Structure 1
Amino acid sequence: MADFYYELLDATDEAGERFRATDFVRGTWSSSTQHAAPVSALLVRALQRCDPRSDTRCSRVVIDLLGPVPAEGDLWVRARKDRSGKQIELVSAEMLAAGPDGTPRPVARASGWRLQTVDTGAVAHAPTAPLRPVSEAPSHDMKKNWDRNYVHSLDWRWLTIPLAEGPGEAWIKPEVDVVRGEAMTPLERLFAVADDANGVGTKLDIRRWTFLNTDLAVHIHRLPHGEWIGVRAETHYGPDGIGTTIGTLFDQDGAVGAIQQSVLLRPR
C-alpha cells in the first residue's frame, strides 16, 4: 500500500517536476479528480523549495483551483520568484496536467508571501480560544463510507457533531507523506488538511447539495508543531448560490492561522 500522495518521476522535465498521484488524492465529489488538499500541499512544497532562504517563511498562501485536477496521468509542478527583497518576497507555483491535446496546461496555482523572520517571542500572542484536546475527540471511522480516496489518508476526529449548529471543530492527522520518500514539512502538513475547513464548517447534507470551494487563502502567524492539525470553521451561504467558509487552524498549542474559502453552492 502506498503511503504518499505523489511520486516524483522526473525532477528535470522541461515542463516542471513530473509527478504521478496515488489513490489517496482522489476527491470525495468525484473519484476521477483530486481533492484540493493534496494539490495544495504539493504546491506549497514548490513554494518552499523556490530559491529557499533559511531566514524566511510563508506568511500567506492563496491556492486557486482553475478546474478539475485529474487523479490519473502525469502532473507537472513548477515555481518562480515574482518579487525579490531582503524582508519580503513573493513566490508562485502552478500545477499542470495534460489537456485534450496532450499538452500540459495549468490546473491549479499558488502564490505565497515569504517574510523575513526575527525573534518576536517576547510579544507572541494568539487570543483565539484553543480547541479542546485530541483526547476529547472521539474517533469516527469515516473511511468506511468511501471507496479508497483522500479520506483514507487521514485520522479524522470530530470534536463537534457534523452538521450541528455553530462552528464545526475537528482534529485531523495526515497518515501519508506528500511525496514518496520525503518527510512532510510543517507547512505541507498544514495544507494537507486546510482545505477540509469547508467540510468541517458545512451545515448541508452532502446527499442534497454540492459545495465545492474554488480557492483557499491561509494566513499563518506561527508554523504548526506536531502531527495533528485542528480546524474550527463555519460556512456562510448566500441566497444566490455562493458561500464563504471562514475558519481557524490549530496545533495542540493553539491557533496557528486563519483560512477563508469561496464556495460554489448547488442543489443536486
Structure 2
Amino acid sequence: MELNIRLAELQKRTIEHREVLLTEEAAKTALVMPFLQSLGYDVFNPSEVVPEFTADVGTKKGEKVDYAICAGGKVSILIECKPSSVQLNVNHAGQLFRYFSVTDARLAVLTNGVVYQFYSDIERPNKMDDKPFFTFTMDAIKPGDIRTLEKFTKAAFDIDKIVQEAGNLKTQSLIRLELEKEFAEPSDEFVRMMAQRVHGGRLTPAIKDGFAKLLAPAIAALIRDFVNERLSSALKASSPVEDLPPGASDDPSDGDGIVTTQEEISGFHIIQAIA
C-alpha cells in the first residue's frame, strides 16, 4: 500500500479520535505505532522498534525514551511521545537531548501523535538542535509532507542523505513561518520596504500607517487571484477520453457496472489540471 494511502487512513483516525486520546499511552497505541507501521517499520519486532528504550546518561539513571528505531544493531531514530492534548515545545524533549549525544542516533522525533517534530544535529555534531528541521501535522497533511516522509520509510532510509537535506528543510520551514507572520501581520520593516518601493516621496508616519493597513489585504487578494487563476485554468482544461480515470468510460451505461457521471469526469479533470 502506498504511503499516501496509509497516511490518509491514519489521518481519518486522528481526526475522529484525537479528543479522547488524553493519555500518552493512548496516543502511542492509537496514533504513533500505526504511524511507524505506515513507514514500514515492524513495531512488534523488538530488535527493530524498541519500546521504553533505556540508556543511562550521567547522573540520570533509568530514564527512558518511548521508542528507539534500530537498524543493523544501532539506534537510528529516537522517539519521545506526549498525550495528544499537549502542545509540544522544546521543554518536552529533555530525554531526547540527553540520549542524542550518547547513542548512534542522528534523528529524533517529538510527537503527541498529531504533530510530529523531527530533529537532527545540523548546527553542532552529536548535539540535538533546539529547533526541528521538519514538522508536520497529521490532521492537516500537505503533499510536500508526504514527499518528505518517504525519506524516513524503512525502504528508503538513508541517514546521510536525510541529514544532508535537513539543513535545507529547516531553512525552508523557518522561511515559511516568517512569511506566514508577515502575510498575517506585516512587520514595520516589511511595510517600510514595500512603501519605499511604491511611494516615491518622503515616507511620513501617516503614509507608513496607510501602507500598513493596505498591505495585508493586498497580499490576501494576490493569493486569492493566484488560486482563482489556477482553478480557471483547470476548468478550461480539455477532457479527452484517453485521460479518463483508470477504469472509467465515457459511456455512462458501460457494461462493467460502473457508472461514471459527467460531474465525476469533470471533477477528475479539474484535479488533474490543478495537480
- Give TM class, smaller chain: under 0.3
**Normalising to structure 1: TM-score of the pair?**
0.23
Q: Which has a greater percent of strand? A: 1
Higher relative contact order (CA 8 A, sep 6+): 1
Give TM-score, length-normalised by structure 2.
0.22
More helix by share: 2
